[in-house]
Chains A and B, each alone.
Chain A
């Protein structure tokens, strides 16, 4: 399997007062097609790790290679391009733009990659169909249920066919039933070979992953197969 993500002694120190270290030398390798869950209590550094993996932030020290390219010290412009082409984000609160329709929301990453309107449209419809929203294309987010909104977010994240799908508590705002639907969608995407990294604090969500990482105090405490998870915890 090709190696997609490689973190080498990654540090993130926030310049507050004497400097608050949020990540203290994280080493991590993620291969293509992996399905990974990052867990840990609040303040453990899992959000910081996700921001770095998503190229929303740069590490203070260490190296991050994404798809073979060193992205630890890129300019703001280049980072924007990397986010646009190689990373798909799914957020806890969906983060759809309320004034835009479903198709228009899915088109946003295509828009910033410079795809013409003519080419954007069929692609975004295809993505809407993929997540089962072919009958909701012209609706606005406010007219959709939470589960449907998160599906739109997933479709939008996949529009540019990214290397990795990054999900931050993707089921945090959903009820158990809809959570199950979204996780089923994730499982399906994984089965088609999509690399997925998600942050969650819910064990029943994390069990869907094949590999689970526990963060504590800015370091990886454990890195194991999902089977080892105690679902009763």
Chain B
């Protein structure tokens, strides 16, 4: 009880003497305020950017592994996969058999995608679109959400129906605001009935290209039926053909651990059977982990930078406290003569220093929370504030107060009472 009274009294004493020098105290706290506010805001921006990137990657499916055909980086004339005047590259059916035939453990299912460019024709409108021939299971693997109508079904597959699912932007350019469901559109010369509509193509299917918007999805079997098994593309401005058997192979693993184990197996399988890098293995989970690591490094860097401002603030506090000790030497002498122990003096000055940083820190938290909010609101940049991004800078500020206050406080306590009393 006695100790509690004393703590309370020492707190009041500290606040009291801070109140005597209001401007000085405010300026000193300002340094801490800027530091805390800076750390919180910087962390919020970085966390926001990182979380956004992670959301994007998670949309690819964290249990998925996506293998894409890619045009090899070599010059065309030196390419080895050339036959019948065509450039052969990318994944083959044999690759699919190798990978899905049991060498990769804990695989749940897989789906292949054949993607090709065709012309879509409707009522005098001609558009170059991307045709994706695949299995209906893809909807579950890459989480496709149908906006209207339905997705292609296994019945469509079995009967090789000329049904297609179309993306919303393509609907807009072909039909305007008309309902496209049930309408027939000519794709590559063949008639297809539109059975469903997607708002956009999932990222796992769109790759980096602009085909994300103007695409149709058709049953794989129908695709083979109407357009053949090869994806043949005529390159503009040259007479070479490009032939790709499989555009994409998407594996869904049982869990995330299986993903990390499977990735190297797949890579080595492909490496052994391809003499050039005409494929790309994308592991969203690996990318997420990478992103996390990157974000952590950024956080460390940002906190370090912002700590410099806290350090400067701390030096300011130490400076002020040292000046205060000199200024109040006589008071210290009087207090010692009247019975203050060294600890009482240390506590008195420490409380002052910590109070300064705490006040600066609390105001800094307020500003540090509203600043990211303003950025999110007006610059439309994602920011994220969590408990630790607030607590960490605050605790840093309080420790800055403790650390920068301890030396001046010790100096005050070590003063010889007799000398201090004689101080003018």
Interface range, B side: 20 to 34
Closest to A166 in B: B337
In the assembled complex, which residues on chain A have CB atoms less than 8 Å from the CB atom of B337? Answer: 54, 56, 83, 89, 95
Verify if B5 is at the interface (C-beta below 8 Å from A): yes
- A91, A114, A156, A160: the one within 8 Å of B2 (CB): A114
The answer on a CB contact under 8 Å between B421 and A80 is no
Q: A117 to B334, alpha carbons, bound, how many Å?
A: 20
A27: shortest Cβ distance to chain B, in Å?
23
Max chain B CB contacts within 10 Å: which of A56, A57, A81? A56
Q: A57-B418, A111-B9, A112-B344 are contacts. A156–B331 as well, Cβ < 8 Å?
A: no
Tell me how far the C-beta of B261 lies from the nearest C-beta in chain A, rounded to whole angstroms: 65
Known: A51-B418, A56-B417, A116-B5. A97 touches B340 (CB 8 A): no
Asked if B335 is an interface residue, CB under 8 A from chain A, the answer is yes
A108 and B338 form a contact (CB under 8 A): yes
Decide if B418 touches A97 in the complex (CB within 8 Å): no
User: Which residues of A sit under 8 angstroms from B330, Cβ to Cβ?
Assistant: 95
Please pick, from A80, A116, A160, the residue contacting B336 in the complex, using a CB distance under 8 A: A80
Q: Are B418 and A114 in contact (CB under 8 A)?
A: no
Q: Which of A80, A85, A97, A114 makes the CB contact (< 8 A) with B334?
A: A97
**With contact pairs A56-B417, A57-B418, A95-B421 given, residues A112 and B339 touching in the complex (Cβ less than 8 Å):** yes
Q: Which of A142-173 contact B (CB under 8 A)?
A: 156, 160
A77 cross-chain contacts in B, Cβ below 8 A = 341-343
A76 to B344, CA, bound (A): 12
- Min Cβ gap A113→B in Å is 7
A109 contacts B by Cβ under 8 Å: yes
Q: Answer yes or no: B55 CB below 8 A from chain A CBs.
A: no
Give the bracket for the number of chain A residues in contact with chain B. Answer: 20 to 34
Contact indicator A80/B6 (Cβ below 8 Å): no
A77 vs B340: C-alpha distance when bound (angstroms): 9
Judge whether A114 and B331 touch: CB under 8 Å. Answer: no
Please name all residues of chain A whose beta carbon is closer than 8 Å to the beta carbon of B331 when the two chains form the complex: 97
Given A56-B418, A91-B421: A113 and B339 interface contact (C-beta under 8 Å)? yes
A99 within 8 A of B: yes
Known: A51-B418, A117-B9. A85 touches B342 (CB 8 A): no
Could you count the A-B residue pairs with CB atoms below 8 Å apart for me: how many are there? 65
Residue of B5, B16, B341 near A80 (CB, 8 A) is B341
**B335 / chain A contacts, CB cutoff of 8 Å:** 108, 112
Bound Cα distance from A91 to B336, whole angstroms:
14
Residue B370 CB within 8 A of the other chain: no
Asked whether A195 is an interface residue with its Cβ less than 8 Å from the other chain, the reply is no
Q: Mark B401-424, 1 if CB is under 8 A from A, else 0.
A: 000000000000000011001000
Shortest Cβ gap from A138 to chain B (Å): 15
Could you give, for residues 51-75 of chain A, a 1 whenever the CB lies within 8 Å of some chain B CB and a 0 otherwise?
1001011000000000000000000
Q: Determine the chain B residues whose CB is within 8 A of the CB of A56 once the complex forms.
A: 336-337, 417-418, 421
Q: Which of A100-127 contact B (CB under 8 A)?
A: 108-109, 111-114, 116-117
Min CB–CB distance A166 → chain B (angstroms):
10
A6 at the interface (CB under 8 A from B): no
Q: Mark A186-200, 1 if CB is under 8 A from B, else 0.
A: 000000000000000
List the A residue with the shortest CB-CB distance to B3. Answer: A114
Q: Please, which residue of chain A has its CB at the minimum distance from the CB of B344?
A: A112
A111 to B341, CA, bound (A): 12
B17 at the interface (CB under 8 A from A): yes
Residue of B nearest to A107 (CB): B9
CA distance A113 to B337 in the complex (A): 13
* Smallest Cβ-Cβ distance to A78: which chain B residue: B341
Give every chain A residue within 8 A of B418 (Cβ-Cβ): 51, 56-57
29 contacts between A and B (CB under 8 A): A56-B337, A56-B421, A57-B418, A76-B341, A77-B341, A77-B342, A77-B343, A80-B339, A80-B340, A80-B342, A81-B339, A83-B336, A83-B339, A84-B340, A91-B421, A95-B330, A95-B333, A95-B337, A99-B16, A99-B20, A108-B335, A109-B339, A112-B338, A112-B340, A112-B341, A114-B2, A114-B6, A116-B1, A117-B8
A84-B339, A99-B17, A117-B8 given. 17 additional CB < 8 A pairs? A56-B418, A76-B341, A77-B342, A77-B343, A81-B339, A83-B337, A89-B337, A95-B330, A95-B333, A97-B334, A109-B339, A111-B9, A112-B340, A112-B344, A114-B6, A116-B1, A117-B5
State the A residues within 8 Å of B (CB): 51, 54, 56-57, 76-77, 80-81, 83-85, 89, 91, 95, 97, 99, 108-109, 111-114, 116-117, 156, 160
